[in-house]
Amino acid sequence: MDKKLIVITMVMTLLLSMYVYAVDKTDAVSGAATTALDIGSYTETSAGTDIAEGGNVTELNLTTDSSTIKWQGYVGSVSGNLYLGSGTSSLYSFGALPNGQIKSVFASTDASFNFGSLAAATAGNIDTTWAWNATDADSGTLTFDDTTATIAQVASVPVVNLVSYNAARSATTSTDFQAGVFKDDGSVSAAAYGTLAFGVTVRPGRYDYRNVSNIDYELIVPVSSAGVAGTQTYSFFLNIE
């Protein structure tokens, strides 16, 4: 075989391989409207007391159950409708989407996050972006410590395994909702919040961490904080296939 032909064949094979493994979700991910129903936080330990007496020294051990200020949790259901048209004018309505066609939920501080180059981030990327100490118990590194998940066709996504109940409501599970961290294939740096997105696979028929509500997803996202609870605005998206 001609050497030039061999080179061309190798180049074409490489290009085809790149297209096969590329994940392009630009058209499959759309913005989602939000409806907040219930807001709550973990009940922290009440302050204990001791009677202090002048001249005494008391050995006093302290412990607490506290609510993290680094993370926000979301749980809920998903739904959608599919149309063919222009703007808000519909040429044809396909009607309501079955839950099985809505594959994933995503959240990002960037309302125009580039899902066309969706890739797995690292847990350390969270700590870099939000300027957290990686050794904190609720750091990104120690929270997203499972790297075996595949979400939205992206393999080896670092995830946190959230607590939920199965359809029979008889046993807890931590693998139904594996919330993962993604990047838009750009550089990750301090305060570049919009370069990261957080997503989870939709799993209908489960019950939330309280074993109360029927839900389709559970997700957690980081929130900017410097020793006090902060706020950040997230945009939400649904992956439809």
Provide the pLDDT for residue 27. Answer: 65
In a domain, residue 228? The reply is yes
In a domain, residue 58? The reply is no
Distance CA 182, CA 177 (A): 16
Provide the pLDDT for residue 66. Answer: 76
Specify the DSSP class assigned to residue 80.
-
**What does DSSP say about strands 196-201 and 172-183: parallel, antiparallel, or unpaired?**
antiparallel
In a domain, residue 6? The reply is no
pLDDT reading at 4 higher than 70 = no
Identify the residue whose tokens are 């259901």: 77
The residue that leads in pLDDT, 23 or 232, is 232
Provide the pLDDT for residue 186. Answer: 83
Distance CA 118, CA 153 (A): 10
Range of the domain at 162: 29-35+66-240
Which band of pLDDT confidence, cut at 50, 70 and 90, is reported for residue 21?
A: very low
pLDDT above 70 coverage of the chain, percent: 88
**What does DSSP say about strands 154-165 and 235-240: parallel, antiparallel, or unpaired?**
unpaired
Distance CA 224, CA 108 (A): 13
Distance CA 241, CA 234 (A): 23
The residue that leads in pLDDT, 190 or 185, is 190
230 contacts 92 by C-beta, under 8 angstroms? no
Domain count, the chain: 1
Question: pTM for the complete prediction?
Answer: 0.83
Q: What is the mean pLDDT of residues 6-34?
A: 47
In a domain, residue 208? The reply is yes
In a domain, residue 131? The reply is yes
